[in-house]
Structure 1
Amino acid sequence: MFSLANSYQAFAEDGTLTDPGLQQRLTETVTAFLSLVEADVRYVCLERRWYEFLGDRTEATITQRAEA
Structure 2
Amino acid sequence: MFSLANSYQAFAEDGTLTDPGLQQRLTETVTAFLSLVEADVRYVCLERRWYEFLGDRTEAAITQRAEA
* Higher helix proportion: 1
* 1:43–1:10 CA distance, 2 compared to 1 (3 A): same
The Cα of 1:43 is off from its aligned counterpart by: 0.4
Q: Could you tell me which runs of 5 or more consecutive residues in structure 2 were left unpaired when the two chains were aligned.
A: none
Q: Could you tell me which runs of 5 or more consecutive residues in structure 1 were left unpaired when the two chains were aligned.
A: none
> Cα RMSD (Å) of the superposition?
12.9
The Cα of 1:46 is off from its aligned counterpart by: 2.7
TM-score w.r.t. the length of structure 2 is 0.60
Residue in 2 that maps onto 1:19 = 19
Where 2:21 maps in the other structure, the secondary structure is helix
Residues 5-14 or 42-51, more deviating: 42-51
Aligned-residue identity in percent = 99
Aligned residues: 68
Deviations 1:3-36 (A, max 9, x none): 8672211000111111000000000110011011
Where 1:51 maps in the other structure, the secondary structure is coil
The Cα of 1:47 is off from its aligned counterpart by: 2.4
Alpha carbons 2:10, 2:17 under 8 Å: kept: yes
Larger radius of gyration: 1
TM-score w.r.t. the length of structure 1 is 0.60
* 1:45–1:29 CA distance, 2 compared to 1 (3 A): same
